[in-house]
């Protein structure tokens, strides 16, 4: 249509920002004027109840104060690798027949394939049953308690299985007094955490318990502990984001372990050679230590009433759950699928839903939140170096601040976005980004790819509603 | 002045690019029009003779053909660490009393402080004299030949001293048959390459010859050689540029050495522990291997008549010299000072001029040319992450291509700019960038900083004139 003159509302040319329906702006444009429509959507995806709860929480100074306290404890935390122990001996509440798994609570019949397969493998590893059939009957009988790692100050990648005889990393937050645990990384391929449970898998777990763990325990004793935050910070300067890329961190760890191990006269050369070769062959070895460190940092923030700071994002392959510093509840939604790159021979139809406790890294401000540190990771998870920078920058909108302990060279050494505020996620609709591996949906096939996913917004709506419900009216 | 109407040369508005004197553009601007002055300067900094020579070389297809051959040999090279040997045994022409030094040829009285100090230290290490005074008299007597490393298929960082009893890396280009050598890295602080020559320095060199080198020789034998190009490529994905930042490459090397060393029954545990601890304590350890690899890649291109491809940039602390694939001559200019960050307590007044053969890395397309891989290096050499990207991008204007073996994640995995063409440098006035350490100007103080410098344009003018002089007239 031909341009009509804009009515002379003012003496100057108008530059209109339209914050209403796009039809309002179109009228200006039809008259030959210039109008830019603001892209906007209602908070909480238009859920009126959650929106009103959010509005109340955003305006409430008590929430901000609680978040400052919780975030401060997270920032002040100093995770130190203090040892290696046997899960049943060191993890609280691990007595009797119990197996820990990743993600929020879930009953055996509802679990995904890889998690079921891994639990059956753990039963064999514990010698509670002599074959898979007997292991399945034992689990179905209910005689083995199945509980989330997160209920025991622990985390585990993928299936996240920790049974009482397994060795675990012990990471102490020396600034806060809390301790966190994680199992040890078995490598890639057919491994328990992807649901494999054949003899090779169980034999490897036995070797890890018998040789790897005692050797590491001696070396860590020789080292007198290992500060993990500086090591992770250095790895971020070397292209890792310490979730899905851990090659530098694994080598920094190996360098410490090998020199201390060779120095110590208590260590037998054969075991040392086996241990260091096992670590050297696995570029993801540090992941489980990164997770334990992140768990230790975030548990430091746990127990601050009314805080909307996230202290966990975790997935069991069926549900995605988040926890807040202000409560021990889980707020869940269906676990998403992962958008990523598949290994040759596999595709989206093979993929399990998002699985594992490893999103504890993003919750702590690394992983996808530190993707700007890791341009090379896009070869593994997809996208471009520009996307990696954009993912980090976008997360600044949903976090309480930036962690100066974890700086990003490519962003001129600013800190990683850290301290996810459930309110900001729900208000902006910007979902926390997660770099993650993709498991085959059937037990035991293994990793079939890696990619990027996002926390479901529904978790945050539930969380905000719960915080609002428990918040007393102001005097 | 008030705007006058632009004469109606055309019916459309004019957008003028002014490639003449800025006064021409100003006339357009005075009339209310828009003109952009092209920033331009004559090639060869206005040196008419060099400019005419350059014009002839740029138009000559024989130069392009020679460069394609030389560049192709550089690209095809496969540097492999094949062993460790004693300089006098393995380096060609090292018989008798001879000491190799960095940079172009230079006589003893003209040398800078650190290089003189290092040569005196080498005399003590060789036990050709019992004290510094006697060492100085021996050198002044002319009984010790002083020759550039580069004349013996070798390179050395900073003072670049190689004497006959010193251990050296042996790097073979398995694609071309040539072999390159480099001494071994002593660590930071008071070390020979910065001109220190006291008992601690000489003792360390003796330990390196007696323990480090034989241990490494056994491990490399156990490994059956080590491909250096993939290792360097991986380090570029981990934040190194393998000149002034080598932390990832050093760890990748250590990982290979430690597992092979523990595996080999021929190695005594004490020597292995000492060797691996020495390497683990030095984040620059890989530098000398990177240099030998780059020397092997570039020597592959040597001896292609009329080629203007650079095969060396090297400095002796007094002069900066370049060599071309088409000749064995040096083209020199005064060595520049380095613009950088100084260690606490030191400043520009303490700095020696640019020193060492380590610019062989930039000549081979890494170092400053690969700075986009290494945003964290700006903490060491100054500038911002943006500058690091810009340095790499700018070098695309002076190189023959990009080396697909060395990719840059932050630039979406494009190859590093590689193959410096002396013609392009002189034509554009864009001087090759070099990341480098800064030595104290007095012998023995050590490194006082690190920073960025640029090759002097005068070297390139001389080189282009020489190539033009030797180029027969076309039929």
DSSP string, A88-107: HHHSTT--SSEEEESSS---
Residues A251 and A389 in one domain: no
Average pLDDT, chain B: 94
Two structure tokens written together for A35:
């109008």
Of B269, B385, B411, the CB nearest to A269: B269
Other Cβ atoms within 10 Å of B333 Cβ, number? 17
Predicted ipTM? 0.91
Chain A nearest C-alpha distance from B237 (Å): 6
Q: Where are the alpha helices (DSSP H) in A179-285?
A: 199-207, 213-223, 228-236, 247-263, 269-280
Please, which residues have CB within 8 angstroms of residue B376's CB and are 6 or more apart in sequence? A237, A238, A409, B239, B245
Nearest C-alpha neighbor of A44 from the set A423, A322, A309: A423
pLDDT of residue B4: 52
- Cβ-Cβ contacts under 8 Å, A386 against chain B: 412
Higher pLDDT, B7 or A14: A14
Are residues B413 and B272 part of one domain? no
CB contact under 8 A, A412 and B385: yes
- Residues in contact with B91: Cβ distance below 8 Å, sequence separation at least 6, in sequence order: B100, B152, B153, B154, B162, B168, B181
Q: Check A269 against B273: CB less than 8 A apart.
A: no
Residues of chain A contacting residue B386, judged by C-beta atoms under 8 Å apart:
412
* Average of per-residue pLDDT across B33-40: 83
Q: Residue B401 pairs with which residues in a beta bridge?
A: B418
A206 inside domain: yes
What pLDDT sits at residue B88? 98
CATH code of A212's domain: 3.90.1710.10
Count: domains in chain A: 3
Residue B11: pLDDT band with limits 50, 70, 90: low
Residue B461 inside a domain? The answer is yes
Alpha carbon distance A457, B176 (integer Å): 59
Beta carbons of B67 and B307 less than 8 angstroms apart: yes
Residue B111 lies in a domain: yes
Looking at residue A98, its pLDDT comes to 98
The β-bridge partners of B226 are B81
Let me know: does B301 contact B307? Beta carbons within 8 Å. yes
**Subunit contact A273:B263, Cβ cutoff 8 A:** yes
Distance from the first to the final alpha carbon of chain B: 59
3-class state of residue A238 by DSSP: coil
Q: Are residues A54 and A17 in the same domain?
A: no
B16: β partners:
B35
CA distance B235 to chain A (A): 9
Give residue for tokens 């002839």.
B56
Read off the CATH number of the domain in which B392 is found.
3.90.1700.10
* In a domain? residue A278: yes
A112 and A1 share one domain: no
| C-alpha distances out from residue B51 to B22, B419, B426, Å | 23, 22, 8
Closest chain B CA to residue A271: B262
Question: Which among B370, B348, B366, B371 is positioned nearest to B438, based on CA atoms?
Answer: B348
Confidence of residue B1 (pLDDT cuts 50, 70, 90): very low
Residues A337 and A190 in one domain: no
In a domain? residue A86? yes
Distance CA B213, CA B228 (A): 18
Same domain membership, residue B89 and residue B124: yes
Give A326's strand partners.
Answer: none
DSSP for B263-304, please give it: H-TTS-HHHHHHHHHHHHT-TTTTHHHHHHHHHHHHHTT---
pTM: predicted TM-score of the whole model, two decimal places: 0.93
* Closest listed residue to residue A110, CA positions, set A347, A279, A325, A317: A317
**CA–CA distance from A22 to each of A2, A18, B428 (Å)?**
20, 7, 51
Exposure of B187 in the CB half-sphere (CA atoms within 13 A) = 15
Residue A1 is predicted with a pLDDT of 41
Which residues of chain B lie closer than 8 angstroms to A262, CB-CB?
269, 272-273, 276-277
Same domain, B125 and B273: yes
Q: What are phi and psi of B240, to 5 degrees?
A: -85, 155
Please give the structure tokens belonging to residue A73: 């404890």
Q: Does residue A120 sit in helix, strand or coil?
A: helix
CA–CA gap between residue A165 and residue A218 (Å, rounded): 18
Query: Measured between CB atoms, which of B251, B262, B409 is closest to A376?
Result: B409
Angle made by CA atoms A458, A460, A461, in degrees to the nearest 5: 65
Task: With CA atoms as reference, report the closest residue to A351 among A340, A365, A363, A364.
Answer: A340
CA distances, A164 to each of A88, A90, A99, A348, B344 (Å): 4, 9, 7, 35, 52
Using alpha carbons only, how large is chain A's radius of gyration in Å? 24
Give A94: exposed, middle or buried? Use CB within 10 Å, 0-12, 13-18, 19+.
Answer: buried
Q: Please tell me the distance from the alpha carbon of residue B145 to that of residue A212, in angstroms, as a whole number.
A: 55
Mean pLDDT of B346-360: 96
- What six digits make up the tokens of B290? 């990177």
Helix, strand or coil, per DSSP, at residue A326: coil
Same domain, B367 and B433: yes
Same domain, A137 and A154: yes
Are A420 and A309 in contact, with CB atoms under 8 Å apart? yes
Cβ–Cβ contacts within 10 Å for residue B202, how many? Answer: 18
Number of Cβ atoms within 10 Å of the Cβ of B203: 11
Q: Chunk chain A into consecutive blocks of 10 residues (it has 475) and report each block's average pLDDT, rounded to whole numbers.
A: 52 76 83 82 88 96 98 98 98 96 98 97 98 98 98 98 98 97 95 96 98 98 97 98 98 97 92 97 98 98 98 98 96 95 94 97 98 94 92 98 98 97 97 95 90 97 97 83
State whether B388 and B277 are in the same domain.
no
Picking from B403, B424, B409, the residue whose alpha carbon sits closest to that of residue B293 is B403
- In the predicted model, what is the mean pLDDT of residues B292-297? 98
Gyration radius from chain B CA atoms: 24
What's the CA gap between B412 and B400, in Å, rounded? 20
Dmax over CA atoms of chain B, in Å, equals: 90
B273 closest CB neighbour out of A252, A254, A263: A263
In a domain, B475, yes or no: no
The Cβ-side half-sphere exposure at A206, using a 13 Å CA radius, reads 13
Give the HSE-up count for residue B374: Cα atoms under 13 Å, Cβ half-sphere. 33
Beta strand A154-155 with A179-183 is parallel
Please check whether residue A464 is in contact with residue A60, taking contact to mean a CB–CB distance below 8 angstroms: no
What is the model's pLDDT at position A5? 52
Q: Is residue A475 in a domain? A: no
User: Could you tell me if B383 and B399 lie in one domain?
Assistant: yes
Give A351's DSSP letter: B
Q: What is the pLDDT of residue A2?
A: 47
Give the domain extent around B6. 1-40
Residue from A236, A254, A261, A262 to probe the interface with B (highest B Cβ count within 10 Å): A262
Instruction: Say if residue B265 is in the same domain as residue B244.
Output: yes
Contacts of B263 in chain A (CB under 8 A): 273, 277
Three-class secondary structure of residue B420 per DSSP: strand
**Nearest chain B residue (CA) to A255:** B280
Asked if residue B91 has pLDDT above 90, the reply is yes
The total number of residues written for chain A in this structure: 475
Tell me, yes or no, whether A145 lies in a domain.
yes
Residue with token string 């009797």 = A96
User: A262 vs B276: CB contact, 8 Å cut-off?
Assistant: yes
Distance from CA of A273 to the nearest CA of B (A): 5
Q: How far apart are CA A136 and CA B401, in angstroms?
A: 61
List C-alpha distances in Å: B421 to B41, B61, B67, B366.
19, 14, 8, 15
Residue with tokens 């601890």: B277
Give bridge partners of residue A382 from the DSSP assignment: none
**Subunit contact B238:A376, Cβ cutoff 8 A:** yes
């Amino acid at each position: 249509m031909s341009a009509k003159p804009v009515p002379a509302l003012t003496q100057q040319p108008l530059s209109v920002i339209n914050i209403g329906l796009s039809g309002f702006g179109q009228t200006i444009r039809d008259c030959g004027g210039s109008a830019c429509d603001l892209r906007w959507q209602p908070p909480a995806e238009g859920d009126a109840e959650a929106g009103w709860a959010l509005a109340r929480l955003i305006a409430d100074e008590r929430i901000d104060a609680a978040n400052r306290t919780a975030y401060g404890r997270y920032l002040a935390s100093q995770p130190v690798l203090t040892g290696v122990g046997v899960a049943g001996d060191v993890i609280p509440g691990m007595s009797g027949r119990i197996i820990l798994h990743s993600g929020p609570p879930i009953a055996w019949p509802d679990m995904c394939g890889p998690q079921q397969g891994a639990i059956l493998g753990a039963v064999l590893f514990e010698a509670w049953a002599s074959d898979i059939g007997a292991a399945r009957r034992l689990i179905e009988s209910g005689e083995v308690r199945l509980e989330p790692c997160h209920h025991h100050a622990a985390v585990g990648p993928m299936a996240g299985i920790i049974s009482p005889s397994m060795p675990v990393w012990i990471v102490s937050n020396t600034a806060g007094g809390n301790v966190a645990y994680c199992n040890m990384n078995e490598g890639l391929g057919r491994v328990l955490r992807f649901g494999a449970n054949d003899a090779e898998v169980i034999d490897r777990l036995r070797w890890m318990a018998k040789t790897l763990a005692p050797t590491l325990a001696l070396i860590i004793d020789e080292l007198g502990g290992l500060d993990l935050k500086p090591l992770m910070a250095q790895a971020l300067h070397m292209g890792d984001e310490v979730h899905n890329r851990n090659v530098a961190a694994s080598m920094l760890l190996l360098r410490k372990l090998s020199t201390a191990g060779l120095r110590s006269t208590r260590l037998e050369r054969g075991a040392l050679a086996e241990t260091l070769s096992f670590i050297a062959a696995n570029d993801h070895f540090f992941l489980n230590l990164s997770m334990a460190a992140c768990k230790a940092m975030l548990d430091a923030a746990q127990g601050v009433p009314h805080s909307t700071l996230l202290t966990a994002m975790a997935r069991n392959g069926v549900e995605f759950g988040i926890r807040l510093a202000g409560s021990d509840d889980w707020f869940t939604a269906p676990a998403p699928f992962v958008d990523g790159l598949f290994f040759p021979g596999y595709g989206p139809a093979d993929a399990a839903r998002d699985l594992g406790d490893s999103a504890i890294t993003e919750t702590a401000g690394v992983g996808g939140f530190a993707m700007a540190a890791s341009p090379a990771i896009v070869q593994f998870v997809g996208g471009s170096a520009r996307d990696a920078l954009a993912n980090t920058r976008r997360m600044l909108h949903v976090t309480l601040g930036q962690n100066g302990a974890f700086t990003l060279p490519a962003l001129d050494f600013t800190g990683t976005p850290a301290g996810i505020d459930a309110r900001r996620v729900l208000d902006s609709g910007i979902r926390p980004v997660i770099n993650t591996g993709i498991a085959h949906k059937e037990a035991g096939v293994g990793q079939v790819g890696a990619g990027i996913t996002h926390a479901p917004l529904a978790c945050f709506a539930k969380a905000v509603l719960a915080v609002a419900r428990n918040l007393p009216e102001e005097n």
